[in-house]
Amino acid sequence: MRLSRVPHLAVLALSVLALACGARPKEVVTVAGPRRFEGARITIDGEFIGALEPLRFHRLFKALEKFYGSSVDFSGTVGLNIAVGPLLSRPGPHRVVVRPESGQALSGTFEYPFRNGEEQCLVFALSDHLDVSDSCRPHSAYVQPKR
């Protein structure tokens, strides 16, 4: 399953945001979702990572609106960029849980290393599940890289 238009555009927006903010980690997992997930607690492999916060890059919103039109609204997006460090660099699947302040927790899995040399993985919270970008969607059978 491929990301729908809005989450796919969110990957673009978050990538541009990361570049606009200066140096960024080589590889990053971005957990994001609509504003109703603001404050949601993020855990990966059982470790608390942080909470989803509003994204504030209004100039980028204006640029995206000029490019895509006003039908896509990123101003209500919340997110958290997580650098791939010791916790996430273990090859194989990683379990991510998005626990909103009210409502049911959503969980999903992403795979590291990312496919095809990609440097970003997007995990986007939808109403009833997490949508994982193609760059890090779990493989049907993971093969340990040779060392």
At 46, which CATH number? Answer: 2.60.40.3070
pLDDT score recorded for residue 19: 45
Residue 137 lies in a domain: no
Q: Which residues contact 127 (CB under 8 A, 6 or more apart)?
A: none
Residue 141 lies in a domain: no
pLDDT score recorded for residue 6: 52
Residue 145 lies in a domain: no
Residue 32 lies in a domain: yes
- The parts of the chain modelled with pLDDT lower than 70 are 1-25, 56-75, 139-147
Cis peptide before 100 (omega within 30 of 0): no
Cβ-count burial 59-94 (b if 16+ within 10 Å, e if not)? ebbeebeeeeeeeeebeebbbbbbebeeebeeeeeb
pLDDT score recorded for residue 91: 93
Residue 8 burial (10 A CB sphere; 0-12, 13-18, 19+):
middle
How far is 91 from 2, CA to CA, in rounded Å? Answer: 23
Which among 68, 62, 37, 70 has a CA at the least distance from the CA of 51? Answer: 37
For 100, the domain range is 5-132
pLDDT score recorded for residue 143: 44
Residue 142 lies in a domain: no
pLDDT score recorded for residue 78: 86
How far is 36 from 39, CA to CA, in rounded Å? Answer: 9
Cα Rg, the chain, nearest whole Å? 15
pLDDT score recorded for residue 129: 92
Residue 47 lies in a domain: yes
pLDDT score recorded for residue 130: 93
DSSP H or E stretch at residue 33:
strand 28-34
- Predicted TM-score of the model (pTM): 0.72
Question: What percent of the chain is helix, strand and coil (3-state, nearest 5)?
Answer: 20, 35, 45
pLDDT score recorded for residue 48: 97
Residue 79 lies in a domain: yes
Residue 65 lies in a domain: yes
Q: How many domains does the chain have?
A: 1
